Structure 1
Amino acid sequence: MEFVNLTSHTINLPGMAIPPSGTVARAAATDTPIGDIDGIPVITTTYGGIQDLPDPVEGTVYIVSVLAAQAVKGMRSDVFAPAQLVRDEQGRVIGANALARI
């Protein structure tokens, strides 16, 4: 199986580290202004389809962010997000114990 990391960070999984591929798949976002709070703009953000996700390739798994995976929920069986995150003492994510199909 080939793993393609479509995030901007190395994905550390049990027994392997998957470097970024250089392409980042993202959920398309549309911001709509709805007002302000003491002069600070307030918006509503709506997420749509995914951008920069390659077409399926047999034997290839694409790793994306949870938000990007949600954009293709139920449409792609080859797209996964890091799951069961592992954090260091400062709370920073340093790895994942699993991949999730969203």
Structure 2
Amino acid sequence: MTTLLNLTPHPVTICGVTIAPSGVIPRLPEQTTQVDTLTFGGATIPVVETTFGQSAELPDPAPGTYLIVPARIALAHPDRSDLLMPGAALRDDTGRIVGTATLARVPR
């Protein structure tokens, strides 16, 4: 049997089945360094470079368990085959996102 845990802050609907958030929301440590400035419309806008570390808040892998995470988390952990992100968005007639038909994995 497969277990899906939703580690995003919002419900995820896949093929019509909605998975509620688990309450665990991993974050990536980030560090920014200002590298430039731009002037636009009379404002000076800082330009920064941002680097991300790995999240220490992810549960350890478990057999048959997959974690639905934001793309940023999955991309930071390409070694983890248990991390899945929502695939392409399905939209209703007004353009509102109503779910996805797939789960995606970062190529390893």
Give TM-score scaled by structure 1 length. 0.86
Moved over 6 A (4+): none
Match of 2:31 in 1: 30
Please tell me the residue identity of whatever aligns with 1:18: I
Q: How many residues were matched structurally? A: 101
Gaps of 5+ in 2: none
Residue correspondence of structure 1 range 1-102 to structure 2 within 5 A: 1-38=2-39, 39-73=44-78, 75-102=79-106
Identity of aligned residues (%): 39
Give TM-score scaled by structure 2 length. 0.82
Calculate the aligned-residue CA RMSD, in Å: 1.6
Tell me, yes or no, if the aligned pair for 1:28 and 1:51 is still in contact at 8 Å. Answer: no
Structure (1 or 2) with the greater strand fraction: 1
Distance in 1 between residues matched to 2:4 and 2:63, nearest whole Å: 11
Task: Give the Å deviation of 1:32.
Answer: 1.0
